[in-house]
Amino acid sequence: MAKIGSTSTAVQQAKVISQKLKKNRDEKKKTKDFLTNEKNITINKDNQILLNKLVEISSGKWSSVAPVPKKQFKNRNHSTTVKGPTSLNMGIRKRETERIEKENHAFAKRLFDK
């Protein structure tokens, strides 16, 4: 009879341990879910900041290519507009800027689609 009593005690202890392990797993899962949500919130905030910067860049706020200054002088008969000094690679820089803006728009579109 003593053996049966010790077996039931062992079964009860095993149940208690099993319940503690389950509780521990549940707490770890909740912690992991919380951390995952926090990470996603941080990523979304960073994405929003980057998207706002892309929009500002594409609107020209951060344009690295300055507009060409125009000089005016009066001739006796009529006034004409003469461009100031221009860079030899202005066309290349402008095309590169347009290419970057297209890539930024495509990137922003992919962000919005998700």
> Is residue 111 within 8 Å of residue 47, measured between CB atoms?
yes
pLDDT at 114: 66
pTM here is: 0.40
pLDDT at 68: 54
> Is residue 107 within 8 Å of residue 54, measured between CB atoms?
yes
pLDDT, tens digit (0-9, with 9 covering 90-100), for 7-36? 888 889 999 999 999 999 999 999 999 999
- State the average pLDDT for the chain: 80
pLDDT, tens digit (0-9, with 9 covering 90-100), for 38-62? 999 999 999 999 888 888 877 776 5
CA distances from residue 30 to 2, 11, 25, 27, 35 in whole angstroms, order as listed: 42, 28, 9, 5, 9
CA distances from residue 113 to 10, 48, 60, 94 in whole angstroms, order as listed: 57, 14, 24, 29
d(Cα 58, Cα 101) in Å, to the nearest integer? 6
DSSP 8-state code for residue 109: H
Residue 74, H or E segment: strand 70-74
> Is residue 97 within 8 Å of residue 64, measured between CB atoms?
yes
